Amino acid sequence: MYAPLKKKKTPPFISIHIPICDEPPEIVIPVIESCLNQTYSNFEIIVFDNNSTQVLIGNQ
């Protein structure tokens, strides 16, 4: 027999990762705002910005 699952008092903590590279603020801001306007409450938003206009292909 298996023990019944216990309900947690708080929902699981999640991370929303938003990777960007040389994106204009007009695109990034609405994405972040959309994440902030969700109904889920136990989360963080992490934005990874390469901040580079150089694109690397292969092992150069």
Q: How far apart are CA 60 and CA 57, in angstroms?
A: 7
- For 58: left if phi > 0, alpha if psi spans -120 to 50, otherwise beta; the answer is left
pTM for this one? 0.67
Condensed to tens digits (0 to 9), the pLDDT of residues 19-57 reads: 998 888 999 999 999 999 999 999 999 999 877 666 656
pLDDT of residue 58: 62
- The 3-state DSSP class for residue 60 equals coil
Q: Extract the tokens encoding 31.
A: 């994405």
Q: Extract the tokens encoding 34.
A: 């959309």
